[in-house]
Amino acid sequence: MKAVILAAGYGTRLQRDVAADSSGRFAHLAGTAKPLLPVGRGALLSLWVRALTAARCVDCIHVVTNAVYHAAFEEWASHFTNVKILSDQTTSNEGRLGAVACLQLAVKHFNIEDHVLVIGGDTLFKEDFSLKKVKERFNELQAESEDSCLLLSYQCQEEETSKYGILEVDSDLHVLCMKEKPLSTETQSRRACPCFYMFSKKSLPLLENFLEEKKEAPIEEKDAPGNFVSWLIPRKPVYIHEISGRFDVGNLPSYIECDLYFRETLQDVESYMV
C-alpha cells in the first residue's frame, strides 16, 4: 500500500485569520502551509509520517503540494527517507487543480498500481485512532472482495451536518450513499466522513473516469475528495471504520485547539495513531 497525502491547498482561511490577528502571537505562522504548521513538538505532517512508518502499513509516502510551498515541503521531507514530494505546478488558490486531480497526478507520476491510502494534509485524529486497526479491517474486506474500499466515520453534532460529507450506512457498515453538507433535516445520519480513505487498486482506474466525466464541471465539483468518494459508492463496495473524532485545521481557532491538545493532552506521542 502507498500513502498519498493531499497538501496542495493554499490555506486561505487560516492565512486570513493570521493576518487579522492583532495579538501578534501567531505571526510566525504567516506563509506556512497548513500541513507544515507546528503542532505540539513538530510539523503536523511529521505526526503522520512517524505513525505511518511505525505502523508499517505503507511502503512509501507521497505528498502532493503546489509550486508556492514546494521548496518548504522538500526541505521538510529531507529529514525522512520514505517521503517523496510532488508539485501540482499551481501558484494560486484560483488556479488549483483540486484534490481529486492531485490524487490522480500522484497515481500517474509515481506509477502507483497498489492500494492507496489517501490522507488530507490538514487532518489529525483523536488518540483512539489506530492505523494498524484500520489496515486490519481493510485486509478483511479485501479477503471478501478485491474491489472493497474503506472510509472512516465519526459522530458529528446535529448542527454540524451542513459542514461535512455525511455517510448513510446499513447494519453491516456498508456505505449506501454520501450526502455532501446536508441540512440535519435532510438525513438521519450524523456520520461525518474525514479525508482518510483506503482505495483498492481496482478502484484507481475510476479516478480517470470521474475526472473525464467532470471535465467541464466547475472546480467545486472535483476539488473536495469527497466528491469522488460519493461518485465511487454506487460503483464499488465501500465500508466504514468508526472512530471518535478528528482535528480539522481550517482556521486559527481550530489550529489553536489542535496545537493545545498535542502540547498538553496527548498522553503517548510514540504510539499516537499507530
pLDDT tens readout for residues 150-186 = 999 999 999 999 999 999 999 999 999 999 889 999 9
Give the pLDDT confidence score for residue 141 in this predicted structure.
98
pLDDT tens readout for residues 10-39 = 999 999 999 999 999 999 999 999 999 999
Share of the chain above pLDDT 90, in %: 92
Q: Is residue 24 classed exposed, middle or buried when 0-12, 13-18 and 19+ CB atoms within 10 A define those classes? A: exposed
Tell me the pLDDT band of 122, cut-offs 50, 70 and 90: very high
pTM of the model: 0.96
Q: Which of 130, 151, 128, 148 is nearest to 140 (CA)?
A: 148
CA distance 224 to 118: 12
Radius of gyration of the chain, Cα coordinates, nearest whole angstrom: 18
Cell numbers 480513505 correspond to 197
Average pLDDT, integer, range 230-253: 96
Do 106 and 64 meet the contact criterion of CB atoms below 8 Å apart?
Answer: yes
Q: Which of 167, 193, 163 is nearest to 178 (CA)?
A: 167
Tell me the pLDDT band of 221, cut-offs 50, 70 and 90: confident
> What residue type is 231 in one-letter code?
W
For residue 223, pLDDT beyond 90: no
Q: What is the dihedral of CA 85, 90, 94, 100, to 10 degrees?
A: -50
Share of the chain above pLDDT 70, in %: 100
Average pLDDT, integer, range 126-149: 96
Beta-ladder partners of 117:
3, 198
Q: Where are the alpha helices (DSSP H) in the chain?
A: 12-20, 44-55, 70-77, 99-109, 131-144, 205-213, 220-223, 225-232, 252-260
User: What are the φ and ψ backbone dihedral angles of 74, each rounded to 5 degrees?
Assistant: -60, -40
* DSSP 8-state code for residue 134: H
Q: What is the dihedral of CA 138, 244, 9, 249, to 10 degrees?
A: -160
Q: Which of 60, 105, 54, 106 is nearest to 83 (CA)?
A: 60
CA distance 35 to 45: 5
- Kindly provide the b/e burial profile for residues 94-125, where b requires at least 16 CB atoms within 10 angstroms of the residue's own CB: eebbbbbbbbbbbbeebebebbbbbbbbbbbb
User: What are the φ and ψ backbone dihedral angles of 9, each rounded to 5 degrees?
Assistant: -75, 165
Average pLDDT, the chain: 95
Give the pLDDT confidence score for residue 180 in this predicted structure.
87
For residue 202, pLDDT beyond 90: yes
Do 7 and 35 meet the contact criterion of CB atoms below 8 Å apart?
Answer: yes
Tell me the pLDDT band of 267, cut-offs 50, 70 and 90: confident
Give the pLDDT confidence score for residue 41 in this predicted structure.
87
Tell me the pLDDT band of 220, cut-offs 50, 70 and 90: confident
